[in-house]
Chain A
Amino acid sequence: MTPNEMETKPKQKVERREESTRPGVYFLPPVDIFETKDELVLLADMPGVPSDGLDVNLEGDELTVSASVRPEDYEGLKPLHVEYGVGGYYRRFKLGEAVDRERIQAQLKNGSLLLRLPKCERARVRRITVQAA
């Protein structure tokens, strides 16, 4: 194996915290989260999720990403050899920075989500002149 060769980590099943009206299996998507001076960026691997199957929700400082896949892709197929489970994805994050929710951008391409969360502009420091009495 060359040093650059990839390995597979097993998908982790996850319990959804709130009661869900749609039962089913959910997995924890692997993510990268990084921060620049202007934004937080989240990348999540969610293979099988079409663009209309994605749900991103920001409530206060809690970000929830959930997604579902298409069961019809498996119609008429009988498993012979299995290495990964098939189901939706679910993960929650607490954001440490205030985010400008109006400018959040989500892009799903090839089963990878790119979420851009621009930081709020900091309140300008106001200079107050103290007048001598």
Chain B
Amino acid sequence: MALVYRDPFEQLQRELDRMIGAAFGDVRGVTTGVYPPVNVFDGGDAYVVKAELPGVDASQIELEVQEDTLTLRGERVFSEPRSDAAFHRRERKEGQFRRVLHLPGQVAGSDIKADLRDGVLTVRLPKAEEARPRKVAIQAG
């Protein structure tokens, strides 16, 4: 029997790539230019928004939800380096950000949860009753 290693990311990555490709025509061209980059997922009974915010503290992020709009704002500030340092590379950016997202459907006003873990912000917004998936019973004829 052949042993096949399955990459746990394979399917997710394929799906992400497909969507990125569909939206931008090229995998490398993935960005709207606005900080931070976000991915929006359908989590069944909730919409899940993830944003990459490395090096940002939870206290520096402000979240606001109004109807189907999510607003994300804050600031990324570095404490390093000291002034006597000489830079070899400087690719990371600091500054302020503000991002307004229109969610794909109506959300319920309560029970919205947000957590920041390892530099990724995850916001879980329960769908409004009318946006939830419904099981439809099929009647036998």
Residues in chain A within 8 A of chain B (CB atoms): 2, 4-13, 22-25, 30-37, 41, 43, 45-50, 69, 71, 73-74, 76-87, 108-112, 114
Q: A47-B119, A82-B30, A85-B13 are in contact. Are A32 and B91 (CB under 8 A)?
A: yes
Query: What is the CB-to-nearest-CB distance from A105 to chain B, in angstroms, rounded to a whole number?
Result: 13
Query: What is the CB-to-nearest-CB distance from A27 to chain B, in angstroms, rounded to a whole number?
Result: 11
Q: Is the CB of B31 within 8 A of A8?
A: yes
Within 8 Å by CB of B31, from A30, A41, A80, A83, lies A83
Residues of A within 8 A of B113 (CB): none
Q: Is the CB of A36 within 8 A of B48?
A: no
Q: Is the CB of B28 within 8 A of A10?
A: yes
Q: Is the CB of A111 within 8 A of B87?
A: no
Residues of A within 8 A of B96 (CB): 2, 4-6
Among all A-B residue pairs, the 7 with the closest Cβ atoms? A111-B119, A112-B55, A47-B119, A111-B54, A77-B41, A6-B35, A71-B8
Which residues of B from 23 to 61 have beta carbons under 8 Å from A? 23, 27-44, 47-48, 52-57
Query: What is the CB-to-nearest-CB distance from B33 to chain A, in angstroms, rounded to a whole number?
Result: 5
Residues of B within 8 A of A25 (CB): 9, 13
